[in-house]
Amino acid sequence: MLDYQKWFPEARYGMFIHWGLYSLLGRGEWVMHLDDISPSEYNKLASSFNPGHFEAEKWARLAREAGMKYMVMTAKHHDGFCLFDSKYTDFTSVKTASGRDFVREYVEACRNEGLKVGIYFSCKDWQIPAYFQGPEKAPEQWAAFIEYYGNQLTELMTNYGKIDILWFDGCDQPDLSSYPYKSFLWNAAELEVKIRRLQPGILINNRSGMHADFSTPEQEIPRNGPLSELRECCLTISRSWGYAHGDRCRDFDSILNELTACACNGVNLLLNVSPDPDGVIPADQQNTLLKAGSWLKRNGEAFYGTERQLPPWWEYNSCGPVSTKGNLAYLFVQRYPLDGRIFLGKFKNNFSSACVLGSGQRLSVFRDGNRTVIEGLPKEAPDDICTVIRLESEMALSPWLLKK
Ligand code: JFZ
């Protein structure tokens, strides 16, 4: 891992924000395409996109209180509407009803809350006919399209201060999905040099054909992949990336299980919220994030900066999964032992001490034949969400945890 990448696994947890013109229609961020709305019809929405309650500070404060360490916001999604100031198009929030540079307000709010700043940028742009025609049918128009989006990327990398993450998306074209030199067609190599010169230390994801600093499995938590690879899974907290009427936040326990699985696999979690047209994150999404954040305040040590494990995470103990950091292991007690005792028989290491995270309550630890026994857990689980026990071993644990 390179120095400029070191903060990423330690940060572990970010807020993804899908918000834009599509939020007005309340049917997700693909509505323009899926409902076959023409650009002339769709673009009328810009005259009524004037969110009265947009406060980036509230988003950033929620992210911090949720235990998140970075944010990624859609500066431009596939619909082509820019939430930032651009001299290359009038289809921006600055030049339409709101007259606001939402990306500027967002990056400032992130920094005020001590969060790293991520920008989502879609290369795919449904406003541009050349995108649909492709480089073979419309080479000159395609070249102009590539120059357009390259110019916008330069604006984002130049005019908004230090950007920590560039989250590319949509670098695909209907006729080119199997094309072997996709990155060439998106001018990825030249753009990457410019981006990394403008923003030294920026992390770029794996969706552009550029050199990827991290991979982005979507709606799944990866277990395999090269040990050296940085991975960030992106999940929706509800059932839609962009705001959808009637959408509901997924149940808290599934979000908690995903946080735990990411800790135990050494994977970052980018958890998406979908602000309504007025810029307000739905209350059920806020409540779920804050509840998980209260648990992370007590148990974050078991979550931030944890390592990869081999074999890929599954449960190494009857009580629940385990994350590791150096010579420390963290047991997520999802099945609480009625007799207050836990048996660790599969680990290659012995453990010399144990305590309950959060409360610090020390537990007794001793060897019993070929396994370690932990005793002293109270009858009631110390943590009403999920108790985590910190175990100290005599040597580093990762990546192999289990006895051969
Ligand atoms: C893309 C976008 O189309 C979507 O709107 C959202 O922004 C999401 C985070 O990213 O969705 C994808 C991208 C890639 C795949 C599937 C959905 N994929 O590679 O299977």
What DSSP assignment string belongs to 172-203?
--GGGTT-TTHHHHTTHHHHHHHHHHHSTT-E
Whether 169 lines ligand 1, by a CB cut-off of 6 Å, is yes
Q: Which amino acid is at 396?
A: A
Ligand 1, atom 6: closest residue by C-alpha: 241
Length of the chain in terms of residues written: 404
- Indicate whether 315 pLDDT > 90: no
* CA–CA gap between residue 219 and residue 213 (Å, rounded): 19
Ligand 1 atom closest to Cα of 120?
A: 7
Distances (CA, A) of 1 to 217, 224, 245, 275: 19, 17, 42, 34
CA 10 to chain centroid: 13
Q: What is the pLDDT of residues 187-231, one digit of tens each?
A: 899 999 999 999 999 999 999 888 899 999 999 998 888 888 999
Residue owning tokens 């600093």: 213
Cis omega (within 30 of 0) for bond into 399: yes
Whether 232 lines ligand 1, by a CB cut-off of 6 Å, is no
Measured in Å, residue 121 CA sits from the centre of ligand 1 at 12
The pTM for the full model equals: 0.96
Measured in Å, residue 216 CA sits from the centre of ligand 1 at 10
**E strand residue ranges, 173-327:** 203-204, 232-236, 268-273, 322-325
Whether 22 lines ligand 1, by a CB cut-off of 6 Å, is no
Ligand 1, atom 16: closest residue by C-alpha: 218
Measured in Å, residue 171 CA sits from the centre of ligand 1 at 10
Regarding predicted confidence, which is higher, 3 or 243?
A: 243
Q: In the Cβ-directed half-sphere of 376, how many Cα atoms lie within 13 Å?
A: 14
* CA–CA gap between residue 313 and residue 315 (Å, rounded): 7
Whether 234 lines ligand 1, by a CB cut-off of 6 Å, is yes
Mean pLDDT of 322-337: 95
Look up residue 337 and give its two tokens.
Answer: 């032992």
- Indicate whether 349 pLDDT > 80: yes
Q: What angle do CA 312, 348, 383 make, to 5 degrees?
A: 70
Whether 29 lines ligand 1, by a CB cut-off of 6 Å, is yes
Residues 215 and 221 sit within 8 Å (Cβ to Cβ): no
Q: What is the pLDDT of residues 70-91, one digit of tens each?
A: 999 999 999 999 999 999 999 9
